[in-house]
Amino acid sequence: PLERTLEDDRVVYPHVTIEIDRDLGVAEIMVRGPVSAPPSSIDEICAKGVDFWPLALARELDDMILHLRANEDDIGVWVFRTAGDSDFVALADTALQEHADHWLVREIVLYLKRTLKRLDVTSRSMIALIEPGSCFTGTLFEVALAADRSYMLDGRMDGDNRPPPTVHLTAMNFGPYTMSNGLTRLSTRFLGDPDARDNARDQTGTHVTGLDAESLGLVTFAPDDIDWEDEVRIALEERAGFSPDALTGLEANLRFPGPETMETRIFARLTAWQNWIFQRPNAVGDGGALQLYGTGDQAKFDKHRV
């Protein structure tokens, strides 16, 4: 069974922790990388079983997503952080790549793929914060790519002696984890700009710092330590203040450009707009945005997400 501790405003797994701020409507999610070098041989991976970090990560992330969706529907913003050694995460990705033909590794990769897809089709605003001590590498960088915005600190905070944060691409970012539209998250991000995607691919295996990651298009913003706290605070407060239903549709638009597949028809943009915007009280109810448009009165939004 999955190890999980439930508290009033906190959920704790071995590798994932959720802290809920109910006043702001924000869930702070910390994902921890492996604490030591993961096994590299298939015999060692099989011996580890559910304790093999990529499998443990998939199980905990999957359960976390479903828990927050079903039980915390008024928490509209999810903030993702990571902590750990980027090199250990890269080694785990290498093991997944080298043993991709083995049935267990294949199932683990498919499990991770499904879990990341579940993030894509979750009607919550998602923000990734890349700070010193982060390990947004390979598989974990997919979480940042799935987020609606990613903020990466350029440099370090005053008084913090840890190295500046970096992001690190691996081969797992260029194939195994395709989205509902049939593209990888990097291909979706650089849709119509193959040169930008190729420039990102050229950085595979290197540690990319804040401004470089921003110029490559790998993150949304890279504020320095002076602007960091204000930029993050404003981002969280503005998402918490908008109509949840409008965000569901607008974010779905940006998450799923490119080809329309049967899967995206069911789970992505069309569903978001047709079912959760135009006919909802936040739009057409007595206190809804469309009813009050032009009156100068502020709409009263139901904060529950679908």
Positive or negative: CA dihedral 75, 249, 280, 291: positive
The pLDDT assigned to 222 comes to 97
pLDDT-derived band at 271 (thresholds 50, 70, 90) equals confident
Residue 266 has pLDDT above 70, yes or no: yes
Both tokens of residue 3? 């190890």
- For residue 213, the model assigns a pLDDT of 97
Q: Are strands 207-208 and 167-168 parallel, antiparallel or unpaired?
A: antiparallel
Q: Which pLDDT tens digit goes with each residue over 197-255?
A: 999 999 999 999 999 999 999 999 999 999 999 999 999 999 888 888 888 888 998 99
Provide mean pLDDT across the span 52-60. Answer: 98
pTM: 0.93
- Residue 275: the pLDDT is 67
Q: Which of 94-98, 125-129, 290-294 has the lowest mean pLDDT?
A: 290-294
Residue that wins the pLDDT comparison between 277 and 44: 44
With a cut of 80, say whether residue 59 has pLDDT above it. Answer: yes
- Mean per-residue pLDDT, 18-47: 96
- How far apart are the C-alpha atoms of 300 and 81, rounded to whole Å? 31
Give the pLDDT confidence of 153-165 residue by residue, as tens digits: 999 998 889 999 9
Looking only at the bridges linking them, the beta strands covering 5-6 and 207-208 are: unpaired
Task: Report the CATH number of the 5-241 domain.
Answer: 3.90.226.10
pLDDT of 39 reads: 96
What's 220's DSSP letter?
S
Residue 63 has pLDDT above 70, yes or no: yes
Amino acid 144: pLDDT: 98
For 166-180, what is each residue's pLDDT tens digit? 999 999 999 999 999
Average pLDDT in the 32-37 region?
96
Percentage of the chain exceeding pLDDT 70: 99
Whether the per-residue pLDDT at 146 is higher than 90: the answer is: yes
More confident residue, 241 or 23: 23
How high is the pLDDT of residue 303?
A: 79
Confidence of residue 33 (pLDDT cuts 50, 70, 90): very high
- Measured CA distances, 114 to 7, 92, 170, 193 (Å): 27, 18, 19, 26
Q: For the chain, list the strands marked E by DSSP.
A: 5-6, 10-12, 16-21, 26-32, 77-83, 125-130, 149-152, 167-168, 207-208
